[in-house]
Structure 1
């Protein structure tokens, strides 16, 4: 065989992660072939090798990345306002309105004008402006803003279809893959940086409630928030969201929200603007070394089911306390955040395949994605009458309300959400967040029960009350 593959093809194959092997030709020269085998690193052999570039990917992706400018007005209160001596000489000081501007980036995901960015880029904005790749400026409105995922969906109206960056939903990203970050750092204009995927499924970051980030070392700086993390296929791998930095600049540790979560938020925005996240209906905990040893594992793996909500999706799928969840839809999971992320990216009615370990045997069950039961806003009641709770606003807990407010979904009962000024509830020290457990030594689990108990004891002078505050229980007898 006396043929030779061009060196540029070899370098390109290596750059794209293809396997490369070496072979000997008849004349004794070493050849490099693209195929299966051991990878070989080689120096560039020609000018063409030196000119390999990300430009083709950038040309396709960059027009779909926009700059987002937000403006809001805040009251700038004089620190001496209210001081009698100061106001005697200068008169009353009314708060002045101060303009606050912020900048970020966004990604066009629908040619009709849907743009995804970070919630913190547009939070509180009274005016939003989007600057397209071709320098056109368009007014934008917020369709959906979700603080818990730090994502927001904007809409602009253009005279023609806009360029779109498609989602990469293959789930094939691996640590070491080349990626590009496109955004508007420091407001200097659209900028492209390159790097690799440093880690996948980062959950212990503490940025959002649904923490499950792609980590990259591509340079990300203030202003990049809401911009695109782009794969070598020219698709949206994630939305750049945050960095770890002591100086405020890039130190090679950036985080992006995966495209699966971005797509679910976009779908919610286009289906009425309400984001309903499915839930599993199970309380989970990490598998420690001791648990792994008792289960016969050679190492900690999976997530332990410690409790199952009656009638929830996990209960319907016959998950049991003590099961070890190993994977969801073929993706290994090792903590609760990973499981919550997998279910949060499903739409209501979809099915997920959950592989688990039970009694030393692996099995797979089908779990239907369902919305948590109850009302997201919660059923509220302001109490009145001759009792210590008069003036307190109570809400009946439910999985839907708890999920929307970051409360344990399994928690039941009544919680104080507000206390009126100069009311009996304020006098007796009730605070928002208190969970009412019992009144007059009778447990109260819903609004009807506490109303009945207050009516029954209307003329009482002593009120034994038990509440839970920040995880601690307190029992007191209140006297009128």
Structure 2
């Protein structure tokens, strides 16, 4: 009997242990499969990725000890959004030392890119490479290197500073081209791979997930619809591909959020659907033609929706309509709420601007709006956006150091907030976790003064904030309702 009981005990023990071993074995197998998936992506995409080295000439009058490739200061401040070149990182070439006085000196910068379209034929032996505009915009010479070590001189096919997309070309055929995916199908939480040349380390692969989609109003480009990822990207990754597990390019790595200049878990990539449309125009025409409506728009907050008699917060608010613009001729008015464009819902300011800009000028489109609580459909003929029109319709400014965006007051907004025209700017967005948010500044707050100087519009506000950058602090006079108070923001 004792022997039988012992055998039964051993048998039960074995059955209880076996599932644990089986689970452990399955877990390792799953990890191996995941690792092999990343390795497969690297093998397929890396031959299409190039290391870009650019050289430009800068006069001695602008010379500093450590140089950015094409400028003296970070475009978004030392502690916020940084392009991928700036700190004196190891592996990033800098200005060659020279003891001789000279009127010009060379600046060398690095970035990444990838082959995205190859045209073969007797009369066309060009290979096109997609990258960021800020990588090549002021380059005198451009050199690209492939994974196999082959090197080529490149020239610029076309640049679009507004979207930060550029196409360069080399005289070579049959170069491996990366497959382009559909960034609209990308989901938050999906695995992605970043491939590039961080710190000059050629063809480096990092892995992460899609953290968010549709990031707009960040203040990096004029036209934004960023994919946010936690895949490690660093100086030198700029212009490289963000790839899904099907080895398809879904974005162009463009910028990082960093307090140190290096990876901190927040990176941004331009969706490939947007980049592809820009690149096609750059190849065909050398420039980008954008659609134009002639309106200034802003997010529809809960408070604004309530004041306009709208129960649900959906759509965007028209705060200004330019005279004789396509929007004006279509009958669009200040205070209208746009809820759909071309039959598709309008969810935020950034995506709407992108959709209009990519609409062919001269085409006739439908706008669905809410006016005084009633839904209407307007037909508008899209115009062509020029630099003058772009400057005229930009009445909002983003202050990245503070973490907020402000809007020039319109007559309707001035009346709503109980101030006179020209008596400040209204805050339209506040980034969560920013110094402005921690100071209690909310959308709808009116900023009347910056460092005791009145600000009349968004442009004056931006200049005042930039003037205070060296002091690392700023004094604001705020108005909330009928109350005014001073607030000091430091960074």
TM range (shorter): 0.5 to 0.7
Q: TM-score if structure 2 supplies the norm length?
A: 0.61
Q: TM-score if structure 1 supplies the norm length?
A: 0.62
Could you tell me which residue of structure 1 aligns to residue 453 of structure 2? none
Counterparts of 1:220-299 in structure 2, within 5 Å, are 220-299=233-312
Q: Contact 1:77–1:94 at 8 Å: present in 2 too?
A: no
Give the counterpart of 2:47 among 63, 72, 83.
Answer: 63
Q: Residues 108 and 346 (structure 1 numbering): CA distance in 2 closer, same or farther, change over 3 Å?
A: farther
Could you tell me which residue of structure 2 aligns to residue 130 of structure 1? 144
Is there any run of 5+ residues in structure 2 with no aligned partner, and where? Answer: 1-22, 64-99, 120-126, 396-456, 462-491
Q: Residues 470 and 45 (structure 1 numbering): CA distance in 2 closer, same or farther, change over 3 Å?
A: closer
Counterparts of 1:147-226 in structure 2, within 5 Å, are 147-158=161-172, 160-169=173-182, 171-226=184-239
Could you tell me which residue of structure 1 aligns to residue 314 of structure 2? 301
Alpha-carbon deviation of 1:349?
4.8
Greater RCO, CA 8 A, separation 6+: 2
Greater gyration radius: 1
Could you tell me which residue of structure 1 aligns to residue 32 of structure 2? 51
Q: Residues 110 and 364 (structure 1 numbering): CA distance in 2 closer, same or farther, change over 3 Å?
A: farther
Q: Contact 1:264–1:346 at 8 Å: present in 2 too?
A: no
Q: How many residues align?
A: 332
Is there any run of 5+ residues in structure 1 with no aligned partner, and where? Answer: 1-41, 80-92, 377-399, 411-467, 473-480
Structure with the largest fraction of helix: 2
Q: Residues 60 and 283 (structure 1 numbering): CA distance in 2 closer, same or farther, change over 3 Å?
A: same
Alpha-carbon deviation of 1:290?
2.6
Q: Residues 284 and 204 (structure 1 numbering): CA distance in 2 closer, same or farther, change over 3 Å?
A: closer
Residue 314 (str. 1) matches residue 298 (str. 2): no
Residue 402 (str. 1) matches residue 389 (str. 2): yes
Q: Residues 177 and 331 (structure 1 numbering): CA distance in 2 closer, same or farther, change over 3 Å?
A: farther
Cα offsets for 1:344-384 (capped at 9, x unmatched): 23343556554433454556556554313xxx5xxxxxxxx
Q: Residues 217 and 359 (structure 1 numbering): CA distance in 2 closer, same or farther, change over 3 Å?
A: same
Q: Residues 368 and 259 (structure 1 numbering): CA distance in 2 closer, same or farther, change over 3 Å?
A: farther
Q: Residues 234 and 354 (structure 1 numbering): CA distance in 2 closer, same or farther, change over 3 Å?
A: farther
Residue 101 (str. 1) matches residue 115 (str. 2): no
Give the counterpart of 1:121 among 107, 131, 135.
Answer: 135
Q: Contact 1:327–1:333 at 8 Å: present in 2 too?
A: yes
Query: What SS is found at the alignment partner of 2:319?
Result: strand
